[in-house]
Amino acid sequence: MSISQVLLSGLSGLRASQTSIGVISNNISNANTPGYVRTDVTLSPVTYLGAGGGVQVESVKRAADRFLATASYIAEANRGASAVRNDILARAQSSFGDPASQTSMFAMLDDFWSALTEIGVDPSSALRRGDAVSALQSMFTEVQRIGESIQDLTGEADQRISDSVDEAQSLMDRIAQLNSEIQLNKRTGADASGAENAQSALIDQLSSLIDVRVSQLPEGGVHVRTSGGALLVGYEASQLSYTPNTAPFTSHGVIKINEQLGTQSNLEPMLMGGELKGLLDVRDRDLTALADALGGFSGALADALNQVHNENASSPAVSQMTGRQTGLLATDAIGFTGEATIGVVDYNGALRQRLSIDFDAQTITGEAPAATYSFAGGTVGAFTTALNNALAAGTPAGSASFANGVLSMNVGAGGGLVVQQDSADPADRAGRGFSHFFGLNDLVSRPTPLFFESGVQGSDVHGFNAGGSLTYQVRDTAGRLIGSRTVTISGALAAPGADWDDLLSALNATGTGLGDFGAFSLDSTTGRVTFAANPTFNVTLVSDSTSRGGTGVSFTALNGLSQAATAGRALELDVNSAIASDPARLAVGRPDLSSALGQRIVEGGDNRGAAALLAARDATRSFPASGVLTAQSTTLAVYAARLGGEAGRLAADAQRSADGSQAVATAAADRRAQIEGVSLDDELMKMTVYQNSYAAAARVIQAATDMLDILMSIGYR
């Protein structure tokens, strides 16, 4: 070997050792950098004609393990989804409060039941009636607060989806940029490990937002896809977009991917994990179910109290009764069977007039004066006219009116009204009695229909104003937009005689309606319209601008076909404003309308109505499925407890899931770090080796230099 070859061999050793020391120094300096992957140097010998000629740096590679990286991405995506779900559901559950707390919704409801018990001791006490009204009002105020809290959390989840989409887009853009840098370094033979480490850290961050799968490109860089197959990063980054809508009970948009390409662009079905998936689940499933359950509970409680209160009477009896918004029109069939009784009392509570309503015979029979009033034809308007004539004939005289869906009655000064069901043949429309259905003496009220059993029949005129429309959006189970369907009250549907059957036919029409994707049907017993979607499609209400006559009630509000109608009850129910302003109107007596005319039937000491209200707590009744609450037959007290229990169960399940996924993510990260991470002991040992090899290479050069000097000296002489 020539001296020049020895010098070159030593020089290659210096360069290889210097490169190795630099790599190890970088490893040591980044030992505590999250996501940093250790870099290793591979050396290979250099030979000249079979003789050793030094050493060269074969490659500088990251010690990345694809299998462990993939496991880490999966674990991190699950952790991200469960963590965000746990965070939001924990706060949703906390809004219900501790059931043992005196300020919780459940404790306030117990306070109301206790106040009713106190009324039984002294029904004439204005203070005790005021306490009961205040307790019930506080309870519904708390229900409203909880309902608003759930809607706020829904809006927050929607806004966080938008923020996460923006963050994911930023990460994807940077990953794509680093792809170009890595590929350039690979082509020029430069060290690409720094860019690869930076890219790996970005992918780690992205995996907590979106479940990702990474494939290496032969020329360097990566392709990043979701577990569902959507390409997030190729040679360029895909474009994500989302427009939040934080309004309560709104229809949300979808996360779009590459919308500019004009293809089906819904990313959501291709998400299997990550924070975005968790936010979507908690917004569309968990919080919606909680809101529906809260609305179902508050509606059931209000309806049960109203049922009893409409059979009761206050002392003194009220002179004016204004009913609830029924959504009915004067031209609708009265639709009741059975009998009901209206009593008119004087200022002393003595019965002065008894009106017996026979809905089967379509007559109202008065006793003072004796007369019969017919509402032949059986419409709400005809009934109201007959009732008005019957009230006007008595002493004190009264009147009745029906306008924009609301039935009202009143009698002159000093008089009062009492309405009850006939004990032998009670009046009934869609499962509710006369006063209960019209809400003439409701304890709890809502601006829109409280319940959705309207009692309409298919042959009744639908009554929706011309120009109103219903718009639905249809997607398949993969989230792809199939189309939109709009049914407008126009043409034949706007004709004076168009009935409910005609409206359902238009809604169920194929091509123009939703007949291809599900079916609307009307229950002949309750008059409620329901929609059953085809399992292969998701049908979402986008808008409803319909209005029934002058009631202002839309098609979906009348039938409970939107979340605003069902879950919205939690935000809108409250104690009847007339009772809230005058607790003396709280009806805690139960008069006997079978008494003889002239007999006193309304007395301040009557506590039978209060006892009946209290008994509603423990009466077994049927509750339909509502959100997280399944259909069941139980008492109001147990139903309330189960609502709190379901909210707690959801939060506990989310907590367990978050703890479990955190443990798995930690284990996956630790296992990956063992292979890819930096061990200071190992790196310091390597540093010593390469320092020594550097020194050895330097000594080789020095020895060759000394030899050359000697040879030069000998030759010179």
pLDDT at 264: 66
250 CB neighbour count, 10 Å cutoff: 15
CB 307 within 8 A of CB 433: yes
Cα dihedral across residues 536, 544, 250, 625: positive or negative:
negative
- Tell me whether residue 420 is in a domain: yes
533-552 tens-digit pLDDT: 999 999 999 999 999 999 99
pLDDT at 598: 95
d(CA 484, CA 514): 9
Read off the tokens for 679: 């061990």
Closest by CA position to 560, among listed 538, 528, 520: 528
Main-chain phi, psi angles of 255, to 5 degrees: -75, 120
- Tell me whether residue 229 is in a domain: no
CB 541 within 8 A of CB 121: no
Percent over 90 (pLDDT), the chain: 74
pLDDT at 379: 97
- Which pTM does this prediction carry? 0.89
pLDDT category of residue 50 using cuts at 50, 70 and 90:
low
433-452 tens-digit pLDDT: 999 999 999 999 999 999 99
664-706 tens-digit pLDDT: 999 998 888 888 778 788 878 888 888 888 888 888 888 888 8
CB 420 within 8 A of CB 433: no
Domain with 138 in it: 122-146+306-452+570-623
Strands (E), 190-333: 212-216, 222-226, 231-233, 240-241, 256-257, 320-322
For the cut 80, the answer to whether the pLDDT of residue 422 exceeds it is yes
Asked whether residue 350 falls in the same domain as residue 487, the answer is no
- Tell me whether residue 279 is in a domain: no
pLDDT, average across residues 236-254: 92
Asked whether residue 492 falls in the same domain as residue 357, the answer is no
pLDDT category of residue 1 using cuts at 50, 70 and 90:
low
73-105 tens-digit pLDDT: 999 999 999 999 999 999 999 999 887 788 889
CB 73 within 8 A of CB 214: yes
Q: Max alpha carbon distance in the chain (Å)?
A: 156
- Tell me whether residue 335 is in a domain: yes
For the cut 60, the answer to whether the pLDDT of residue 717 exceeds it is no
CB 236 within 8 A of CB 173: no
Q: Given the DSSP bridges, would you call strands 574-575 and 444-445 parallel, antiparallel or unpaired?
A: antiparallel
Asked whether residue 337 falls in the same domain as residue 435, the answer is yes
Listing from the earlier edge strand, what are the strands of the sheet with 212-216?
A: 212-216, 222-226, 231-233
pLDDT at 658: 96
d(CA 10, CA 615): 100
Asked whether residue 428 falls in the same domain as residue 341, the answer is yes
Window from 90-94, 129-133, 247-251, 260-264 with minimum mean pLDDT: 260-264
For the cut 90, the answer to whether the pLDDT of residue 38 exceeds it is no
Instruction: Report the amino acid identity of residue 294.
Output: L
Angle at 436 between CA 431 and CA 441, to 5 degrees: 175
CB 265 within 8 A of CB 204: no
Show which of 530, 559, 588 is a domain's final residue: 559
DSSP designation for 562: S
Asked whether residue 604 falls in the same domain as residue 531, the answer is no
Asked whether residue 369 falls in the same domain as residue 332, the answer is yes
Percent over 70 (pLDDT), the chain: 99
d(CA 149, CA 160): 16
Asked whether residue 598 falls in the same domain as residue 549, the answer is no
CA count, 13 A, side-chain hemisphere, 135: 22
- Tell me whether residue 640 is in a domain: no
Asked whether residue 374 falls in the same domain as residue 424, the answer is yes
Q: Given the DSSP bridges, would you call strands 621-623 and 469-476 parallel, antiparallel or unpaired?
A: unpaired
Asked whether residue 358 falls in the same domain as residue 437, the answer is yes
d(CA 120, CA 702): 111
pLDDT category of residue 563 using cuts at 50, 70 and 90:
very high
Window from 273-282, 310-319, 337-346, 636-645 with minimum mean pLDDT: 636-645
- How far, in Å, are 78, 312, 441, 459, 576 from residue 593 at the CA level? 66, 11, 16, 36, 25
Asked whether residue 444 falls in the same domain as residue 479, the answer is no
Closest by CA position to 585, among listed 686, 440, 692, 471: 440
Asked whether residue 313 falls in the same domain as residue 448, the answer is yes
d(CA 178, CA 212): 17
pLDDT category of residue 164 using cuts at 50, 70 and 90:
very high
- Tell me whether residue 129 is in a domain: yes
Asked whether residue 589 falls in the same domain as residue 705, the answer is no
Residues in the chain: 717
pLDDT at 7: 77
Higher-confidence residue: 518 or 37? 518
d(CA 617, CA 610): 12
Packing angle, helices 287-309 and 636-676, rounded to 10: 170
Q: How many domains does the chain have?
A: 3
Per DSSP, the three-state class of 648 is helix
Helices (H), 631-717: 636-676, 680-716
Angle at 343 between CA 338 and CA 347, to 5 degrees: 165
- Tell me whether residue 220 is in a domain: no
Show which of 580, 605, 623 is a domain's final residue: 623
Per DSSP, the three-state class of 77 is helix
Show which of 531, 559, 587 is a domain's final residue: 559
- How far, in Å, are 168, 319, 443 from residue 171 at the CA level? 5, 69, 56
Instruction: Report the amino acid identity of residue 570.
Output: A
- Tell me whether residue 258 is in a domain: no
582-637 tens-digit pLDDT: 999 999 999 999 999 999 999 999 999 999 999 999 999 999 999 999 999 999 99
pLDDT at 669: 87
For the cut 80, the answer to whether the pLDDT of residue 386 exceeds it is yes
pLDDT, average across residues 340-364: 97
Rg of the chain over Cα atoms, rounded to whole angstroms, equals: 39
